[in-house]
A = this chain, B = another copy of it.
């Protein structure tokens, strides 16, 4: 089974890692729109336009289905993508909601969604969580988290001041949805910051579970990955090698 993974840049490697580690896929084609990253600060029309351009790439590569690793792209472009394509397309938002439902049985637990500005503004998570019956939903755009990860800044002093800035009016959540591909890199500092048994929902792990519901998958000895990018594919490969322990 040959699957496509699309992301706005290199952040989607956190989703790729989950898919890769699951050993459930024979071949993965990863494409990152590194020339135009980030999407999370851009407007709906632009995001849809860029995603439809990426779709042509995956059509040429004849993938069996496509995973949209980027939450912002999933929030805005999923309908447009599906209308222009014959193979199945799965977005990380539906996967994340599915996983939240599975992990959090008490609908009165406090759920905090953190994401880019565009993802939060789309209200996709908030609407879907409400439809699932959750009653205590907070959603917060934490715009500085992506550049913190991109810059590789994990110093406690910096992170704590940034966390204090964003979370000053937030009630301690029971579950934290990491609704951006970059945020799993901040899992440990976030868990430490909230100082309780907070449940973290991770887009990549959620996607693996979600796909198991849709397909009968077998275990492969090896998963082959091909990397493509709209610019600087060598840098993408360099980061991927480090991150996936190739």
**Residues of A with Cβ closer than 8 Å to B?**
34-37, 41-43, 45-46, 50, 143-144, 146-148, 150-151, 153, 155, 157-158, 160-162, 164-165, 230-232, 235
Contacts and interface: CB of A to CB of B under 8 A. Distances in A.
Q: How many copies does the complex hold?
A: 2
Nearest to A34: B42
Given A143-B151, A147-B147, A231 B161 contact: no
A147 B143 contact: yes
A235 B143 CA distance: 17
22 contacts: A35-B36, A35-B42, A35-B46, A36-B36, A41-B150, A42-B231, A42-B232, A43-B235, A45-B231, A45-B232, A46-B230, A143-B147, A143-B151, A144-B153, A146-B147, A153-B165, A155-B165, A157-B161, A157-B164, A157-B165, A158-B162, A160-B161
A163 to B, nearest CB: 10
A8 to B, nearest CB: 11
Nearest to A145: B147
Contacts of A151: 143-144
Nearest to A37: B41
A74 B97 CA distance: 45
Nearest to A143: B151
A48 to B, nearest CB: 11
Nearest to A232: B43
Nearest to A46: B231
Contacts of A144: 144, 147-148, 151, 153
Contacts of A160: 161
Contacts of A37: 41
Closest 7 CB pairs of A and B: A46-B231, A161-B161, A147-B147, A43-B232, A143-B151, A157-B161, A158-B161
Nearest to A152: B143
A147 B166 CA distance: 14
Contacts of A46: 35, 230-232
A231 B45 CA distance: 8
A23 to B, nearest CB: 33
Nearest to A141: B151
